[in-house]
């Protein structure tokens, strides 16, 4: 860094940067609550150009420093991260359990990394809530599809605000969430319950609440995976999916949540390693498609914030161009942040070389660096970014935060069938619990004075849990010896399409302890089921749900 132009010299100017700088739509703060839905209603503002100091700051950076700002690698430990800061001037890091072991250690690590970098770092994590969680000590929520079952954007806001508050207490300032994909394919192997649902309007409303919640907590939200990963039967971690939506289908199904995120003023949008011939017939993954990133996202949707790639370690990113050239192609397409390059040294050198030979223009590079610095300023990173490790230990997993998770879980449990009023369980009913997480559910029922039987034959009712069992669900019900069965889908609710022989069926969309406890309360009548199916299930309509 040219030390005559350090961040310290421009802190005062940085703090004056308008919140909406370099981002279309709203600021994500100063919201009010909609009286009809409980959804946060953002305060509209006019987008502003980046403050003058950012342009001057970018001019003072070397080519290597500018390129470094694009990269967000993984790291083994503090020494490894500090080496990458010195050698490659990286713009941030992504945390995983191996280097973020507990609240105090994580907060101290964040402080150390920020001290090591002349330019403040975006420290990110994949903390979607539910199925995808990286930090096991955070308050655990059921996840997006459970939130979709509540149909309450206000709850999505509360859940995201809690997670964002805990992340910021750890010194983490960017979350690669929420998921904006509309899960219209029951066989989708990579999204599923990570999605809010199969209805674009519902997903848009819930996404808006989540984006606002993260950003209200001071954490950059990242809507993913553009242009939409909800209709695929291939996992982009292991292959390159092709989605056959036409342009018209994309505009109807996939685009609305991203349009909502842009209007909401989302800080970042993540790309998908998918091929969508209806949007770009070149065969390029969206991450490397200028037609998709610049043409659709920037020009058609009017997005002016940061575009971040999905992990460049994934097979979908490397299959066509290889790991090193994938980074160059992504920048050419319009991406700003390059997440998790498998070879940082090679990718950094490739982008530097591309700029020097004109394959990436200096103007194009400066645009990305400007957007990244504007995001850092918008999230207050040019001020005091040091956090208190003792406070982190108090904030993370607090009783108040656990209470929010409990309310979300209880509001999400969906009663789909209840023949003859089999539920709630009557006093004295002997219950056998079978299936995934049966011991935990049985323990939760015992706490509510339910008599637990050791076998189906000794029971009056069998509670059978399933977790993405698919067609095998029917056989598992038959194996319960003719006893009345209450079938509960702990994962994807599509299992219920095969539960026609069950007396009663429910969905929790999650197998976490908070959902199992909520399920036990519903089964025993302590809580009334309130959820509604947020996806279409064969034989069951979207929005279906019963109560007692």
Q: How far apart are CA 443 and CA 513, in angstroms?
A: 11
Six-digit token string for 187:
């066989």
Q: How far apart are CA 70 and CA 73, in angstroms?
A: 10
Tell me which residues are annotated as active site: 310
Q: How far apart are CA 383 and CA 376, in angstroms?
A: 10
Torsional sign, CA 395, 144, 130, 175: negative
- 94: closest CA among 112, 76, 79, 111? 76
Q: From residue 403, give the alpha-carbon distance in Å to each of 40, 138, 158, 529.
A: 20, 13, 11, 18
Any idea which residue has 């610049």 for tokens? 294
- 69: closest CA among 297, 367, 315? 367
With the CA atoms of 311, 316, 320 and 326 taken in that order, what torsion angle do they form, in degrees rounded to the nearest 10?
Answer: -10
Q: How far apart are CA 498 and CA 508, in angstroms?
A: 16
Any idea which residue has 């503002």 for tokens? 45
Q: How far apart are CA 157 and CA 210, in angstroms?
A: 5
Q: How far apart are CA 463 and CA 223, in angstroms?
A: 37
């Amino acid at each position: 860094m040219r030390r005559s132009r350090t961040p310290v010299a421009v802190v005062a100017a940085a703090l004056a940067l308008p919140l909406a700088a370099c981002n279309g739509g709203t600021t994500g703060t100063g919201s009010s609550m909609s009286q009809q839905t409980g959804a946060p209603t953002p305060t509209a503002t006019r987008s502003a150009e980046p403050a003058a100091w950012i342009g001057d700051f970018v001019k003072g950076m070397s080519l290597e420093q500018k390129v470094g700002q694009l990269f967000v690698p993984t790291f083994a430990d503090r020494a490894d991260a500090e080496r990458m800061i010195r050698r490659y001037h990286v713009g941030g890091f992504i945390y995983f359990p191996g280097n973020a072991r507990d609240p105090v250690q994580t907060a101290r690590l964040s402080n150390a990394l920020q001290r090591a970098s002349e330019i403040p770092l975006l420290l990110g994590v994949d903390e979607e809530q539910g199925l995808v969680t990286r930090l096991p000590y955070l308050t655990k929520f059921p996840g997006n599809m459970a939130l979709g079952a509540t149909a309450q954007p206000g709850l999505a806001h509360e859940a995201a605000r809690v997670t964002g508050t805990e992340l910021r207490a750890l010194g983490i300032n960017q979350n690669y969430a929420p998921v904006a994909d509309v899960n219209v394919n029951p066989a989708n192997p990579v999204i599923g319950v990570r999605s809010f649902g199969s209805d674009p309007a519902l997903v848009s409303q819930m996404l808006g609440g989540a984006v606002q919640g993260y950003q209200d907590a001071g954490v950059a939200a990242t809507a993913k995976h553009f242009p939409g990963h909800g209709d695929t039967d291939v996992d982009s971690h292991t292959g390159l999916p092709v989605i056959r939506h036409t342009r018209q289908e994309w505009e109807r199904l996939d685009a609305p949540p991203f349009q909502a995120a842009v209007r909401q003023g989302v800080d970042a949008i993540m790309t998908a390693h998918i091929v969508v011939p209806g949007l770009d017939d070149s065969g390029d993954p969206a991450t490397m498609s200028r037609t998709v990133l610049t043409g659709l996202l920037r020009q058609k949707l009017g997005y002016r914030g940061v575009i971040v790639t999905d992990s460049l370690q994934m097979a979908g990113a490397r299959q066509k161009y290889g790991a090193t050239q994938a980074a160059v192609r992504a920048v050419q397409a319009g991406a700003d942040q390059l997440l998790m390059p498998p070879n940082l040294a090679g990718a950094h050198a490739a982008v530097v070389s591309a700029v020097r030979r004109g394959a990436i223009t200096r103007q194009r590079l400066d645009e990305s660096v400007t957007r990244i610095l504007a995001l850092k300023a918008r999230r207050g990173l040019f001020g005091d970014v040091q956090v208190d490790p003792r406070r982190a230990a108090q904030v993370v997993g607090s009783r108040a935060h656990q209470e929010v998770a409990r309310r979300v879980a209880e509001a999400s449990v969906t009663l789909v069938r209840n023949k003859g009023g089999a539920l709630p369980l009557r006093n004295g009913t002997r219950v056998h619990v079978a299936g995934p997480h049966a011991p935990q559910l049985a323990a939760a029922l015992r706490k509510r004075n339910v008599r637990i039987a050791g076998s189906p034959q000794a029971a009056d009712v069998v509670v059978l849990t399933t977790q993405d069992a698919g067609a095998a669900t029917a056989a598992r019900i038959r194996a319960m010896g003719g006893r009345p069965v209450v079938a509960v889908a702990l994962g994807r609710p599509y299992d219920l399409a095969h539960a026609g022989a069950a007396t009663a069926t429910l969905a929790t969309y999650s197998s976490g302890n908070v959902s199992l406890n909520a399920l036990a309360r519903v089964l025993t009548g302590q809580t009334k089921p309130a959820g509604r199916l947020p996806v279409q299930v064969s034989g069951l309509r979207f929005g279906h749900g019963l109560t007692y």
